[in-house]
Structure 1
Amino acid sequence: MRFRAKIVDSSCIKQFLNIVTVVSKLSKSCILRITGDCLVFIVPDENTIPRRTVLWAVLEQNGFFEHYDMVGVNAADANNEIFLEFNISLLASILSNVKVARSIKMKLTHKTFPALTVEIELPSQNYAENQMCVHEIPITVLPLQIWREYKQPEIVEYDVVIESPPLRKVKNIVDKLKQLSDKITIIKTLFRNLSVDHNNCSKSSANALLETKRLAQFLTCELMHAGKEICYIVSDNLIHWYLEQKTLQLHYYLTTTLDD
């Protein structure tokens, strides 16, 4: 089992910092799925059995990493993947102190304990060579038999599929409303000129009652500056937000709450 990846493009480094920050605001720990094509950050809901996926964020290998090399638990078949659990908040804390990085390298190591080792190359004005900061984040490698617990939800039919307004605008509204109530209904605020995907809609309207706190947590995703933002609604059941920015795709699933 092996994994090494390196990011050198400044825009990709910034995007990586943003996605780690977003995930860390949703959960202290996360599952990292490593495949030959991509990295997938998975946040499960620890309060549900079986575990329900809350966040599914995909970083594609092509166009994002300068170097990417992995060998999974069984390179000969479909199980050529790695699933591990680690403290995403620790990674976010490490990266938050990095203002300018020349490169970020990640690799799996096992010196005194299994770890995701992060090497950050920083420019130096006082030395001929760049500085290298190395951090080891403890990990738990998940056995094959529980991989199926961490899968992307499958939704057969949505009531409404609509182009989402920019998240920064939604965030401004929710930040004001969260002082008034711990619950909020989607969609009550009117946004003009949003397109509706009628081909994937089963109804002409839908609404869902959500916990304001959880919605506000999700809206930190506005850091991504996504080029594509789509909102899927299953009335009185689920809001599924899909964000896309070049080599990054993020799915966030907010289940509805009962109205007291």
Structure 2
Amino acid sequence: MKKARVAYSGAIHDAVEFEGRIKLDDGRIVGEEEVVWLPPVQVRTVFALGLNYADHAAELAFKAPTEPLVFLKGPNTFIGHRGQTFRPHDATFMHYECELAVVIGKQARKVKQEDAYHYVAGYTVANDYAIRDYLENYYRPNLRVKNRDTCTPIGPWLVDAKDIDDPMNLTLRTYVNGQLTQEGNTKDMIFNIPFLIEYLTSFMTLNKGDIILTGTPVGAVNVEVGDEVVTEIEQIGRLVNTIVAKPMI
């Protein structure tokens, strides 16, 4: 099942995909362009992986990590499908990052890899923009790079975990203004989903609604104001986003 959260006629609704349209929780059926898309889950704690694909690390001239490089993201960064992302006026290199987002379904602590998928509620698509101008160093992807307002579109759908046979073999693609600029596969992650869940729960508790952003493959391309960026993952969905200028205030 594909689930979403949308705003329609002044109210927020849980919704599901229904014959190519959207069925609201009150039974009404509407079109995709009639609603305002919200993140498909109410964002809690978000764990983002840096350099989790060796080819992406290489294109940024970094060595692939030998232990997960994890940082936290705030809920202020997340917007929904068809949303607009601000590009800072002083940025010279702002790029998208198509990522498989793993949504935790129940409290998890001291989880072994072989049991990890039992704690996953589902999957969605995330586009975790980075402004490389603000990067301090390899070990500190600081707040100004990864925690800017509107810089993480996510959605449109939360797809139930049971509907995805193998989350570690999904093709990821990004298109800028209709041109394919990034393509990879989740099988190329350095640290896979079960490993990440075991790693994180070895020293902390994950809770229902927490999200793990699993990194992006090679293909980082600068984006400019006016660009339409589409990030898609097979079986999960197609996430559309537009780059706009940040207001001068």
- Note whether the superposition's TM-score is higher than 0.5: no
Q: RCO greater where, 1 or 2, for CA within 8 Å and sep 6 or more?
A: 2
Higher Rg: 1
Higher helix share: 1
TM-score, scaled to structure 2? 0.26
TM-score, scaled to structure 1? 0.26
